[in-house]
Structure 1
């Protein structure tokens, strides 16, 4: 696997779908608080909010796939590792630090206090400067860990079995947390926020690694078996929808009827939904790209290129949008939340696109790979 890695445009569309789901989660969160559970529309908002939870695991999947696809064939030496970490610092750590500071100041109404520096440093190091920034904290953990995973992939046995190794470790951590960690007091708060720890998504990441390792072989196998390819796609879509609807049903039963599912059932269902979502949307991206000049493909392609900026900027749009009171009128209530979603997406997209297109320093905010004027590189 030492040949040059080719660009995979499906990944960019998958990014677009994931960021659309991220915005959906954040734009509908207040609606679930404002709306009475007895409302006939409450189920719709539960669906919109909960079905979109595949977003973060999808981004984890993308990172696992792209990093492995681009690095597994390279020599693992000091030079490679140095280049890897240098790219992560410019592409992720620097933008994360800048936006963490901006959101910290936004929460403080741009009036820092005497102890603000200490507070900011603590929040920066734990992904807590603003609600959505925990994701960057998780991704940076994967960046730190990834060279160790590459070293493990030198073993042929690990390369073949990495997918289930990650799943076992993820669920091993789940049981350890449930039986032991949650009962501990005096431990750092970050250890009790399982969603902020890489191990909580490790199965998704390693499944993506396995697919990336065998990607060319998988493509060749399906190319020779079109019937098997179609059947596999249908099964992936069916599993995605079935697990997604069941996951939403479990959440609805808990939110409306206080009939909360057993923790293990909920965890297994969400895990299957996360994996199925990433694979099904990957396949859907391939289907959309069969007409690459179609409007949908071009729009999703640009959203994918701007997704990192949309991720960083859209919570600020929501912050100011929510200064407007929520209408009590039934129809205006729904119009308010439709506009909230559209404003968060379109304003953040427009700001990101304009900065990337017109300013050389855009890389400081959005990373060196976010350059829509050129064909995006497969390199991460």
Structure 2
């Protein structure tokens, strides 16, 4: 029998999905003609405010997996379930994306080879990398589970906390030597492995492991986790706000020094030491925020966020396509509006269309293969393998 669902996680998943869509809405307008340095700074603020999304999805995956762990693991059934709920919909939308972009012709042998490649790498669209990265956590779950539960059984909570803190420091240090690791692995020229640390380093689960481990700790000690978040609230927020300001300064300096007025955010990439510290603090802050929403947000807000979280995996898979719809609206009626209005409009239109389409597709008998769930599962959340967990995923 499944344990009681965690309300904060249900809301957090919905917020994280909305944050992802806003990030991609921002990306479109960074290359729009007429954008100024001031517009770039505004985008940097919005981008910083939404950077938590991917780490939060990974955190939720770890949290829900370990929170629901029943003491035994049937790996075959575990992977089969994730494959059906996560990978199959990803494969379907990969094919749909290729067809829409005229990148796949079933009569061409080379196109079938290309399809096979992108199904393994997530290269058919800029947001599919996340699915490939996340699925690695499912494949490696027995190893993570053995290590984490082994630590829990052998040592007391103080030692466990020390190990968690040390692993966090190790992770921050790791993000600082990713380039060195890439050069070394590239020089070894080992098939698949070298590419995982070079060409596809951005989707290597190793480079995101601490978010998963932090989620595992929160899931294993859920009650203590909530109490600690409340107790440490002031310190958590101060660290978050300081790092937010510090990282924002880096982004502003990058924008001001860019050639030809280009708006770029390389300094805000996920795999950097200071960014990883900021993202860890962001997870803590967002969990505190969702706790407040659960208590004070009202029935409508809580219901909406829960519903968005429930359908977020299918919506995530299609949201770059629905963004195209928002751009048609933008170019037809909003081209003269301030950038903030245009960004927010694209965000809301894309998120709403993706969410609505997912709900409709979930009603179909084969909705599971399109969006990871069917309408019959309205009271469940997505599986722990997608951007929208039903019981074990991050999205």
Which of these residues, 206, 215, 218, is aligned with residue 211 of structure 1?
A: 218
Once the two structures are superposed, residues 247-294 of structure 1 have per-residue CA deviations (whole angstroms, 9 ceiling, x without a partner) of 222122112225999999992321122112122111211211125752
Measured after TM superposition, the shift of residue 42 of structure 1 is 2.5
How far apart in 1 are the matches of 2:55 and 2:286? Answer: 12
1:85 corresponds, among 79, 83, 87, to 79
Distance 1:190 1:101, change over 3 A: farther
The equivalent residue for 1:225 is none
Residue 176 of structure 1: how far off its partner (Å)? 4.4
Q: What does the per-residue CA deviation read over 1:125-163, in whole Å, with 9 as the maximum and x for residues that have no partner?
A: 111121100000001111111111111222424955552
Q: Aligned pair 1:256/2:256, yes or no?
A: yes
Q: Deviations over 1:318-358 (max 9, x none)?
A: 234445775896526554333211211111111112222x3
Distance 1:67 1:17 in 2: 20
- What is the CA–CA distance in structure 1 between the aligned matches of 2:266 and 2:352, rounded to whole Å? 37
105-114 vs 129-138, greater mean Cα deviation: 105-114
1:341 paired residue number: 347
**Paired residues, number:** 366
Aligned position for 1:120: 115
1:136 is matched with which residue?
Answer: 131
Equivalent position of 1:62 in the other structure: 60
**Distance change in 2, residues 1:265/1:323 (3 Å):** closer
Q: What is the alpha-carbon distance in structure 2 between the residues aligned to residue 313 and residue 131 of structure 1? A: 12
- The CA distance in 2 between the partners of 1:243 and 1:88, in whole Å, is 36
1:149 to 144, 148, 153: 144
Residue number in structure 1 paired with 2:201: 194
Higher mean alpha-carbon deviation, 325-334 vs 251-260, is at: 325-334
Instruction: Select the structure with the greater relative contact order (CA < 8 A; seq sep ≥ 6).
Output: 2
Structure 1 stretches of at least 4 aligned residues deviating more than 6 Å after TM superposition: 259-266
Question: CA contact under 8 A between 2:335 and 2:342: conserved in structure 1?
Answer: no
8 Å contact kept, 2:230–2:288: no
State how 1:313-332 maps to structure 2 within 5 Å: 313-322=318-327, 326=331, 330-331=336-337
Q: Equivalents in 1 of 2:269, 2:349: separation in Å?
A: 37
Calculate the TM-score normalised by the size of structure 1. 0.84
Q: Structure 1 residue 164: deviation in Å?
A: 3.7
Contact 1:57 1:204 (8 Å CA) reproduced: yes
Q: For each residue in 1:41-91, what CA deviation from the matched residue of structure 2 results, as whole angstroms up to 9, or x when unmatched?
A: 3211221123312111111111111112112x4124xxx222211221122
Equivalent residue of 2:121, what SS?
Answer: coil
For structure 1, which segment, 116-125 or 315-324, has the greater mean C-alpha deviation from structure 2 after superposition?
315-324
User: Kindly tell me: are residues 175 and 111 of structure 1, through their superposed partners in 2, closer, same or farther at Cα, counting changes over 3 Å?
Assistant: same
- What is the rounded CA distance, in whole Å, between the counterparts of 2:135 and 2:204 in structure 1? 10
- Per mean C-alpha deviation after superposition, the further-off stretch among 39-48 and 329-338 is 329-338
CA positional deviation for 1:38: 4.0
Give the match's secondary structure for 2:123.
coil
**Partners of 1:21 and 1:55 within 8 A in 2:** yes
How many angstroms apart in 1 are the aligned matches of 2:40 and 2:50? 16
Residues 136-285 of structure 1 mapped to structure 2, 5 A cutoff:
136-152=131-147, 153-155=149-151, 156-157=154-155, 163-164=164-165, 166-171=167-172, 173-182=174-183, 184=186, 189-192=195-198, 193-219=200-226, 222=227, 230-258=230-258, 267-285=272-290
Evaluate the alpha carbon distance shift between residue 5 and residue 165 of structure 1 in structure 2; reply closer, same or farther with a 3 A threshold: farther
TM-score (structure 2 length as normaliser): 0.81
Asked whether 1:353 is paired with 2:377, we answer no
The alpha-carbon deviation at position 109 of structure 1 amounts to 6.0
Distance 1:143 1:370 in 2: 25
Q: Which residue among 7, 10, 15 is the counterpart of 2:8?
A: 10
SS at match of 2:140: helix
**What's the Cα RMSD here?**
3.3
Kept in 2, the 8 Å contact 1:36–1:42? The answer is no
CA shift, 1:123, in A, is 1.1
Q: In the alignment, which of 75, 78, 82 is matched to residue 72 of structure 2?
A: 75
Instruction: Mark the runs of 5 or more structure 1 residues left unpaired by the alignment.
Output: 223-227
**Unmatched segments (≥5 aa) in structure 2:** 260-264, 383-389
In the superposition, relative to structure 1, how do residues 190 and 318 fare at CA in structure 2: closer, same or farther (>3 Å)?
A: farther
CA distance, structure 1, for counterparts of residue 93 and residue 270 of structure 2: 37
CA pair 176-271 structure 1, distance change in 2 beyond 3 A: closer
